[in-house]
Chain A
């Protein structure tokens, strides 16, 4: 900071040098720490082998995943041995078109598939032509168990792979043509989630939202014996592609783990915290034992607790709830006992002076003081445990975490994964909002 141009009082000079020296010293410390952090990050750059990772990364997977998560594809598949052709959403047998959609023209064995933007595929019995704008016509045929590809003249583009065994062309993320010895498969992508509400075969598929509302209120039953509303809900709930029912139950399991775990931890930790607080438990050994117990259950960590509980209680929300409860008994116990040591003695003494019993002293002198901390920490941990419960679930305790791991492992229906991710994040945000609101309400904070 420059002070040139100002008339400086000479008596301030020594003071100023002192200040500048201390400022320089703290700056030096700051820069040293920054330097150390940089050195450390350089070390980890190599310890994590980032260069190798950059080489082996598959960014195309991210692009694939991103498109697949927000789009769905329709497969046109011809099985060469049987000579059959099927058009199905995601190639699933339950979602096969009875009559071809308007972008596929069928004339006997000849299929003309419009892939939009000028891309066209013409499929014959055992061959196809693929018309690519700005490139030319690709001919692929299967002869004597070999895949033969004829490309237009010029350099082979890198979105295309052709060998004797397989032809694979993916000019962009919206369309793909594959030929192998056994089958010809053409994919066309559409934006949006397919059959999100009702399965492909369901009669409800054809209705719009308004019509569904009318249907729900009308007395004419589509399926005699069940009310329309019930039919609509049941069909939605048991949708085989999206499994709304199972996803909801998994979310509930995760929530159950978090709620049970946190509440149990809070209610076990509270009485134990009195035993660990200096002003309530004069006996040193008791305090020591209880405090080490808190350190012990907290130190073992949720990961190890859940592994132990999975062994004894099997997979499920009970395991997750107990793992959370054990770890957080330690954390909350420590927090509560610190809060108890910091309470105002005067209120306790005041209640005591009225001739209150020991229990009454706690009830009216102590509890009102630590209740805000109890509630706010409890709710804070409830929110954070909702997140932990998803991770514990992935270890095997079940719930939404396990479901997420499974859908990612099969890596087939990324839209399902995205759906689960969105629901999980929404659940966490909802728990966050709820716990903040309840915390403010109950503790009168702000």
Chain B
């Protein structure tokens, strides 16, 4: 009896401590949010309350100007299509090149594949650093050296992609079933054959799924980088927004193109990832 009462006390005490921790974390969160928003509001050049009424002004203005453009609006969409294609190209090439680079680092950085053991920590640190570099920094630097062109943005996005996908790919590599590799090794398969027939079939579906997700993220990143001078739809946006009033229809056209393409790619990538996951579940 005494033992159970003791246990009960202990459980109650633990419960109380947990509640205390939860309450402390909650208070901390609320404090961060309230204090943070207060601070942010103060640092902003326009206030929140004052801006709230103006929130719909800009979208309204754009929509009105687009409405006024009438039948000319689809023509505007057509005119800006090359810019959109350029942004998509930046994202696609960056994802492909970054993905290839990531595969190299993923194989070097996976501790279970024994590609070259001393390289494992090195490859991991390299991907960590590449991942930490915001695309903006690399892009601005390359624009300075190479001039305004889509290439700086492409390299910048590819650089970050290598780091981001490199980490995800190497986690995939580390979670594979090594029995297949060992089985092939026992048959006398070479390293290349073990990778080709035991590792790649296991990892490629997951790679593809991460790849699609990254492509979607990269389309957004490429659009933003255009805004700092890397070409594509972002630089068109900066131009039309810089003109201020009167270019609202063009801005609206660019918004529509960007939102539509992001939406489509988003749907496509989640559909493909679902398909891959289902195919995985079946096997």
Contacts and interface: CB of A to CB of B under 8 A. Distances in A.
B13 interface: no
Interface string A11-47: 0000000000001001000000000010011001001
A264 B89 contact: no
Contacts of B193: 1
A212 interface: no
A428 B48 contact: no
Contacts of A47: 86, 89
A260 B134 contact: no
A312 B46 contact: yes
A295 interface: yes
B24 to A, nearest CB: 14
B241 A307 contact: yes
B228 A405 contact: yes
B258 interface: yes
B8 interface: no
A198 interface: no
B211 to A, nearest CB: 12
Nearest to B152: A53
Contacts of A405: 140, 228
B132 A429 contact: yes
Nearest to B229: A405
A298 B266 CA distance: 9
Interface in A363-393: 387, 390-392
B212 to A, nearest CB: 14
A303 interface: yes
Contacts of A65: 141, 144-145
A256 interface: yes
Contacts of B98: none
A404 B43 CA distance: 18
Contacts of A49: 149
Contact-residue size bin, chain A (C-beta under 8 Å from the other chain): 35 or more
Interface string B245-283: 000000000010011001100100000000000000000
Contact of A425 (B32, B133, B189): B133
B40 A318 contact: yes
B47 interface: yes
B243 interface: no
B48 A394 contact: no
* Interface SS majority for chain B: helix
Nearest to A255: B36
Interface residues of B, number: 66
B234 interface: yes
Contacts of B65: none
A299 interface: yes
Contact of A57 (B51, B54, B137, B147): B147
A311 B58 contact: yes
B146 interface: yes
B52 A317 contact: no
A61 B143 CA distance: 11
A408 interface: yes
A61 B32 contact: no
Nearest to A330: B266
A333 interface: no
B174 interface: no
Interface string A282-310: 00000000000001001111111001100
B128 A256 contact: no
A424 interface: yes
Contacts of B147: 53, 56-58
B181 interface: no
A432 B220 CA distance: 21
B81 interface: no
A26 B204 CA distance: 12
Contact of A312 (B33, B36, B51): B51
Interface string B18-61: 00000000000100110011011101111110011011011100
A426 B135 CA distance: 15
B96 interface: yes
B137 A44 contact: no
10 contacts: A40-B96, A44-B89, A48-B150, A48-B154, A256-B39, A313-B44, A313-B47, A405-B140, A405-B228, A424-B134
Given A40-B96, A58-B146, A301-B262, 16 more contacts: A48-B150, A56-B146, A57-B146, A257-B40, A259-B36, A260-B32, A263-B32, A263-B33, A264-B33, A298-B266, A299-B263, A303-B234, A304-B259, A313-B44, A391-B136, A395-B224
